């Protein structure tokens, strides 16, 4: 699976073995050189004088010493495999002796990997010292290109395309062989940035919430499929690939202190200084020694000049482990790229941010450009920008300003009530799911009127709505239903012209202490979520009394859980905020 700056491209090893096998003997042979015939050895002490001797004959030429025999090679073999989602073929693995992230011609290298991703390379320990070997990483450069090109690297999880949109390098920790994957690459990156291997591993484990063992091999995780996203190490490794491609991957110090500060602009709706809404993701302060970053979904705004209340700004709730929760407090996040967050205590996501400088550019020009892509735009999306552009005038962004493109994959979606003030059923109609079933029997429906049916949101198109009524009870937690398709007017207010479509079922289960009703059997919808009905009881911080609410639960597929948002970084937003007088 390749992560790209706009809608993530396509979806989506073997267990590795490290063997160090020494071959050959020790050093070279010893060579003894004999004294040269005819030479004399000086002695010491007193010797009687002798008669003059006849001149000695010239000494014979010395016999040259025999050259030392070369040391016998001591071959060391390193084995393992290269893994992304699954095994990667066509990867060249080498020992990066000069740490330039390139497989140079004079560095030990494998042949290119086959379909199993396995590699084997050997080097001569008489030519590469133990210190050099311990300091060098095994690297596997990922090569973009067409799938039929000889050098293109290809992941077995998606064999019809190359596995890289941009060139990047996978690596192992210095001095080790075994599996080379995106997570081992992050550990090696942490070490390059000054961490010990143990600290880099501990930080990455907290950063992405993966076990230490999974860093070295996550192939036992379920295979990736576009139909279902999971909070597995394999999925999180895919986000790491995206960060590596964009050159932003790093391991953060999870125990570092945090200074409170404003964050990126996540949403702006602006009419004028008396009517606006702002959402940023800020940081709360934290002393060193405790893990992670406390993040805050900071919301503010005015309506007709009046400051919006907290209850109106946080008019939604998630079904967290402790029950229904209004999300107006800090939530768990982590340092590093990719980073992980657990919004409102339940909705887990992993993502990375790619900055693009806008320093010196006109604020109005950048806002206009953002309007071109409604899927990523966070400023007046779907609204007029005329008054906003007028207020921005000719102002330009200062140094340090950037568009922070945030790529986010939600791996645990959670169940959410979008509007606490508007999505509850009338208490006189139902305060339990059983009462709701009794209040909406299909036998009372008089088509084509929608009266007596329950909404399940948009249907097969934006002008068709899906609705439901109950036809029977199978047991205490299940039963049968009739689905209906109705017309929706262009303003999405009036429902009419309903007709019966499929029959299906409902089921009631308990999630985090609350009872939730889900439906099955209807035609696929265009929404990225399904509508459910849930009880909200004994949750005074969310709603007073007992209620049945319509709620939303993201579909499990990849497209429903992956987003890209073009946010202004803190520097850019603070400058725009000042210009707007907010």
Over range 190-197, report the average pLDDT.
Answer: 97
Helices and strands: H and E segment counts in the chain? 11, 29
Start-to-end CA distance of the chain, whole Å, equals 42
Strands 75-82 and 178-180: parallel
SS3 of 358-384: CCCCEHHHHHHHHCCCCCCECECCCCC
What's the confidence (pLDDT) of residue 60?
Answer: 58
Predicted local distance difference test score (pLDDT) of residue 64: 67
Q: Per-residue pLDDT tens for 16-75? A: 233 333 333 333 333 233 333 333 333 333 333 444 444 555 555 666 666 666 778 899
Q: Tell me the percentage of the chain whose pLDDT exceeds 70.
A: 88
Q: 């990455």: which residue's tokens?
A: 204
The mean of the pLDDT values for the chain is: 90
pLDDT of 477 > 50? The answer is yes
Q: Among candidates 426, 444, 446, which has minimal Cα distance to 435?
A: 426
Helix-helix angle 197-208:233-245, to 10 degrees: 110
Encoded tokens for 451: 């009266």
pLDDT for position 381: 97
d(Cα 506, Cα 474) in Å, to the nearest integer? 10
pLDDT band at 330 (very low <50, low <70, confident <90, very high): very high
- From the list 110, 121, 114, 111, the residue with the least C-alpha distance to 88 is 114
pLDDT score of 70: 72
* pTM, to two decimals: 0.85
pLDDT over threshold 60, residue 5:
no
Spell out the residues 6+ positions from residue 66 whose beta carbon is closer than 8 angstroms to its own: 31, 33
**Residue of 33 and 272 predicted with greater confidence:** 272
- What is the arithmetic mean of pLDDT over 123-150? 96
Q: Quick one: angle between helices 182-192 and 233-245, nearest 10?
A: 60
What pLDDT is stored for residue 186 in this prediction?
A: 98
Domain residue spans in the chain? 75-245, 265-413+562-580, 422-555
Please report the pLDDT score of residue 488 as a whole number. Answer: 87
Lowest-confidence segment of 280-294, 483-497, 558-572 by average pLDDT: 483-497
258, 293 Cβ separation under 8 angstroms: yes
Residue 257 has pLDDT above 50, yes or no: yes
**pLDDT given at position 56:** 53
Give the pLDDT band of residue 491 (cuts 50, 70, 90). low
Tell me the β-bridge partners of 518.
507
Residue 31 has what pLDDT?
A: 29
In 48-158, DSSP assigns E strands to: 75-82, 88-89, 94-96, 118-124, 137-142, 154-155
411-446 pLDDT, tens digit per residue, is 999 999 999 999 999 999 999 999 999 999 999 999
């Amino acid at each position: 699976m390749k992560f790209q700056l706009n809608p993530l491209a396509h979806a989506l090893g073997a267990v590795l073995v490290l063997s160090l096998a020494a071959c050959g003997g020790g050093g070279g042979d010893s060579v003894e050189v004999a004294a040269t015939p005819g030479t004399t050895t000086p002695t010491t002490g007193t010797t009687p004088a002798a008669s003059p001797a006849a001149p000695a004959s010239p000494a014979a030429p010395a016999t040259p010493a025999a050259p030392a025999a070369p040391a016998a090679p001591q071959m060391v073999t390193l084995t393992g495999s290269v893994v992304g989602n699954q095994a990667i073929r066509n990867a060249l693995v080498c020992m990066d002796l000069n740490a330039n992230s390139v497989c140079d011609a004079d560095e030990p290298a494998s042949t290119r990997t086959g379909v199993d991703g396995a590699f084997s390379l050997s080097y001569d320990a008489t030519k590469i010292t133990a210190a050099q070997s311990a300091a060098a990483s095994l690297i596997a450069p990922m090569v973009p290109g067409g799938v039929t090109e000889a050098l293109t690297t290809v992941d077995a999880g998606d064999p019809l395309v190359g596995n890289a949109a941009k060139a990047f390098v996978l690596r192992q920790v210095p001095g080790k062989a075994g599996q080379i994957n995106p997570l081992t690459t992050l550990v090696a990156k942490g070490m390059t940035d000054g961490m010990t291997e143990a600290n880099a591993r501990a930080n990455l484990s907290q950063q992405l919430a993966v076990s230490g063992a999974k860093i070295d091999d996550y192939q036992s995780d379920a295979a990736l499929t576009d139909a279902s996203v999971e909070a597995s190490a394999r999925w999180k490794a895919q986000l790491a690939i995206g960060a590596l491609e964009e050159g932003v991957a790093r391991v953060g110090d999870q125990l570092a202190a945090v200074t409170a500060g404003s964050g990126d602009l996540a949403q702006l709706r602006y009419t004028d200084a008396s009517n606006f809404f702002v959402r940023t993701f800020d940081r709360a302060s934290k002393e060193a020694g405790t893990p992670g970053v406390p993040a805050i979904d900071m919301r503010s705004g005015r309506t007709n000049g009046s400051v919006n209340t907290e209850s109106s700004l946080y008019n939604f709730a998630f079904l967290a482990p402790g029950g229904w929760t209004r999300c107006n407090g800090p939530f768990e996040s982590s340092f590093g790229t990719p980073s992980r967050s657990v919004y409102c205590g339940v909705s887990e996501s992993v993502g990375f941010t790619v900055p693009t400088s806008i320093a010196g550019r006109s604020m109005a020009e950048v806002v206009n450009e953002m309007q071109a892509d409604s899927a990523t735009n966070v400023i007046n999306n779907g609204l007029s920008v005329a008054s906003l552009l007028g207020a921005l005038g000719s102002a330009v962004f200062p140094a340090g300003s950037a568009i922070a493109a945030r790529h986010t994959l939600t791996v645990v979606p959670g169940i959410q009530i979008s509007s606490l003030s508007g999505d509850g059923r009338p208490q006189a109609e139902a305060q339990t799911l059983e009462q709701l079933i009794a209040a909406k029997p299909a036998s009372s429906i008089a088509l084509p009127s929608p009266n007596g049916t329950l909404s399940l949101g948009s249907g097969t198109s934006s002008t068709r709505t899906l609705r439901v009524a109950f036809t029977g009870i199978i047991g205490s937690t299940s039963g049968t239903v009739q689905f209906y398709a109705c017309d929706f007017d262009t303003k999405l207010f009036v429902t009419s012209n309903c007709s019966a479509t499929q029959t299906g079922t409902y089921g009631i289960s308990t999630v985090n202490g609350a009872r939730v009703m889900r439906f099955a059997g209807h035609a696929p919808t265009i929404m990225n979520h399904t509508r459910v009905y849930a009880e909200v009881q004994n949750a005074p911080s969310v709603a007073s009394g007992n209620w049945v609410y319509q709620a939303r639960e993201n579909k499990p597929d990849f497209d429903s859980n992956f987003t890209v948002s073009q946010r202004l970084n803190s520097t850019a937003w603070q400058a725009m905020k000042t210009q707007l007088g907010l």
